[in-house]
Structure 1
């Protein structure tokens, strides 16, 4: 928590977050041309933001791409700031979170449209089971129930409480409990094209790092990003406490 507020306390770092909000997946070269500071100065600010988990990076070839990670702010709101909504000190953080939307990426190289990352106090097996178990999804994935098997060539279907298909995902690759790659066909958006998303689980001492990458998302569907923030935040809370987040925190 201290690292988050330290990172947000500097106007240059907030400006970097604003730049990534406008166009995610930028390289150091992309960012340094936007600010009146040295390349080393931009790099130092990026390191502080990465230490606070407010950005995550991916490397493709010799290029390193930087992505805004909204999850730490969502988790701060859910677990600490939410009771203090009336206080001015909390309002600045909430206002910043409301801006964390992304524009389509302009890079031709196949990099994610956005990346979310969070640390969850659980085993890799428990996290994998929560991602693929039909009994688990209702606790964090917008009250849906998952049907199907997480195996290549199979299809996972997320059903709404009324039984309708909310989302279907064809499994491209599965390496339990480390990696799951699937298509993403949202039936709750009429005529929406299919895209692709990946779960990556890295075991740590007593915890797991969950990374969510989303690829090929059309410009008109960038709001999907906010949905992932809420899903991941609810998943973390449910696995760590056994209780889902209140519906009031779901942004609606």
Structure 2
């Protein structure tokens, strides 16, 4: 990772993805005036260092910035030396960026999360689409016939009848790709385009790589919410498929307890 970050061109590529996440190779080359072969070599190094995640969409390859390794560097090599002051500076910076992102001219970034699970693609697909399984790891029953164009609903698993999300199935290609719109305010008449969630399941020998992409987010609040929610939900899914049991405590409750 240090080697990947040492090159100024690769740092520039990361800066461009930070400004506009989810770019194709052509878009990155156009913005940097760089030959495709050179850009591909640099992006391969960044992907190998886990600093960039590549998501296939049809014939295109979309590149997303993965900030987690950089955060881990900070936690290991920096935070321990001057943690209180850095936390204060980070809080000031985050608040300033949040205010900046509320500007109407600033688009909300897409969210991408990648996890690796010891399971078959069929098992992951069943976990995502079976109402009883989603109730176990998500706390909600996902109800639909999972046909393109069909409605799906996100019912609380406590039998209260409360629906916390609705949407439409956009694409269903079992067991590798599921795409659907997601609206977290089903009771409201909203005059905006719904967000879109895509699950991509890629098998490799005895494991799969599950990539979740959440696009067209309406505001920064929803971006912050799903940034806490998706890792918790997918950690529970991974535990269920690999051990037969979900985590001992609901992981999404941890964020609330520490906020």
Q: Tell me, yes or no, if structure 1 residue 145 matches structure 2 residue 141.
A: yes
Within a 5 Å distance, the mapping from 1:205-220 to structure 2 comes to: 205-220=205-220
**What's the counterpart of residue 151 of structure 2?**
155
Give the TM-score normalised by the residue count of structure 2.
0.64
8 Å contact from structure 1 (residues 147, 156) kept in 2: yes
* Structure 1: gaps of 5 or more residues: 106-111
CA 1:146–1:64 in 2, change beyond 3 Å: closer, same or farther? closer
**What's the counterpart of residue 248 of structure 1?**
254
8 Å contact from structure 1 (residues 117, 210) kept in 2: yes
**What's the counterpart of residue 121 of structure 2?**
124
Aligned CA RMSD, in angstroms, stands at 4.6
Q: Tell me, yes or no, if structure 1 residue 201 matches structure 2 residue 207.
A: no
Residues 208-230 of structure 1: CA distance to partner in whole angstroms, max 9, x if unpaired?
A: 12222334333554446514344
CA 1:65–1:200 in 2, change beyond 3 Å: closer, same or farther? closer
SS in 2 for 1:21: helix
Residues 71-123 of structure 1: CA distance to partner in whole angstroms, max 9, x if unpaired?
A: x66xx98xxx99xxx8459999xx7xx89x99638xxxxxx945433321111
Q: Tell me, yes or no, if structure 1 residue 65 matches structure 2 residue 62.
A: yes
8 Å contact from structure 2 (residues 25, 39) kept in 1: yes
Q: Distance in 2 between matches of 1:88 and 1:8?
A: 22
* Structure 2: gaps of 5 or more residues: none
How many residues align? The count is 232
8 Å contact from structure 2 (residues 237, 246) kept in 1: no
8 Å contact from structure 2 (residues 111, 223) kept in 1: no
Give the TM-score normalised by the residue count of structure 1.
0.65
Larger RCO of the pair (alpha carbons < 8 Å, separation 6+): 1
**What's the counterpart of residue 228 of structure 1?**
230
CA 1:158–1:47 in 2, change beyond 3 Å: closer, same or farther? same
Which residue of the other structure, out of 178, 181, 185, is the alignment partner of 1:183?
181
Q: CA deviation at 1:22?
A: 2.9
Q: CA deviation at 1:131?
A: 0.5
Q: Distance in 1 between matches of 2:246 and 2:40?
A: 39
**What's the counterpart of residue 169 of structure 1?**
167
Structure with higher helix content? 2
Residues 132-185 of structure 1: CA distance to partner in whole angstroms, max 9, x if unpaired?
A: 1222224443x2232333233432211234532111122233222122222212
Q: CA deviation at 1:188?
A: 7.2
CA 1:123–1:11 in 2, change beyond 3 Å: closer, same or farther? same
